[in-house]
Structure 1
Amino acid sequence: MREGQSKVIHRADYQPPAFWIDTVELVFDLDPAKTRVLNRMRLRRNPDVVPQALRLDGEELNLARVLVGGQGTSFKMEEGQLVLENLPDGNEPFELEIFTTCAPAKNTKLMGLYVSNDSFFTQCEAEGFRRITYFLDRPDVMASYTVTLRADRQRYPVLLSNGNLVDQGELEDGRHFAKWVDPFRKPSYLFALVAGQLVCREQRIASRNGKDHLLQVYVRPGDLDKTEHAMNSLMASVAWDEARFGLPLDLERFMIVATSDFNMGAMENKGLNV
């Protein structure tokens, strides 16, 4: 295959994954030159598949450490994948921790985690998540996510990810953190992260079941007066989903980030459209 040539994947070649990922806990120490990522996953073998090695996708990552059940383990790199063979037998879940670093400022492919105009963005559809951490980066592997973002407060005062904001606060050396929890399973291509200098228009709404929800439209400073139509459209869409399909918002908030720095035009990530 020539360099740069796309690999053709046929539907007839589909094979179910050998492992399922139930939960994912990601911790990001955001820095344009060197972002540290801790990926703590809870996995289990797929009982419908013959036992085999775990093969995780990854691209342009610097691997620092791999732990299984809190202990170091052997691994190898094979055809761009992280291969783990010495894993627990049976169908009981086990914990896998992967420590990596990446360089978002040098990510000129603009897939995965990248920096544009001193802000962090992600683009994970279709196979960008593997540029953030080693993972089963395929749409039939769905997990719930807990994400903690850490960064310099002055440069990156807004830290966003999918789900509900459950904690935030100050750290040492002028840094701060935000912790997001999305309890609903999603594929890796719907993961999102945004960090930077942003302002937002907010609107609280109530669903028919009486729950309150927060709608937010984030933009660059100076563009706030351009967000009224976006907010009205979002409110109308949320109301229509509930009236037409009986589907209220499942998260406590829904966010839109609108900026000229994003590379895909639009990406409908879970709870955080960019």
Structure 2
Amino acid sequence: MVGEARRILVTGATGGIGTAICRQLAGSGYSLVLAARDEAKLKALSDDVTGNGHMWLRLDMTSDQSIRQFAEELAAKHIALDGAVLMPPQAHSTNDPMPSSEAWRALFQNCFIGPLEVLKVAIDRMSSDPINGRRAKIVIISGISSAQVLGHYATSNVLRCAWIGEAKTLAFALGARGIHVNTLSLGGTLSPWYREGIEKRAEAAGITFEERLAEETSNIPLGKYGEPAEVAVAVEGLLSPFSDHMTGLNIMHDGGFTRSY
């Protein structure tokens, strides 16, 4: 348990990984600002993770108007943040290395520019005092294509690297203020939508879910995909004193799949 209720913004809070993160942090005594697009799911999640003054705010990171409203609500409620977990929308897998200009504009707006505006809003609300040991922590959820090119994630290869570059830049810019910025790059993680994809591939191949899962994880040293709960524990570590001398890092959470040093 943390001694003082530190307030953390979690975007994408109602997704499979986001929900696991919220439950983990709430259970450890953090106060949460839950942000996502679906108000009904936000209300249900807020009821599920009771304690320490949690609150929820609707946020669509692909909408400039929604981001502005989100910023105004944080300011109106005088919300001070001790950290943020940013989960930018993911680009769909594609083998096309040269999408149209229109496709690139939409991808960068939805997966980078909009989420970066949300991060700016969060940073403006962060209270840190490194001289007195009070630090703010930012964790950006990324993917393994940030470190290793994957042919079927052509656009993701570019977008993930953009986030790694931005995180490193922010680590330099914000370090003196006691604001840490690290990225957690996920490999295959058994969120509900990822499980559904495996089930479909298994059905198409005429094999069981377990057989398909074994095939897909045969090239992973740990022999498995990650679980949302495991991601949540890693996120909590990066928000905790564990990372007090860590910033600008891209940490792989992929069972050892990434081959690069």
* Same fold flag (TM > 0.5): no
TM-score normalised according to structure 1 size:
0.26
TM-score normalised according to structure 2 size:
0.27
State which structure, 1 or 2, has the greater radius of gyration over its C-alpha atoms.
1
Larger RCO, structures 1/2 (Cα 8 Å, 6+ apart):
2
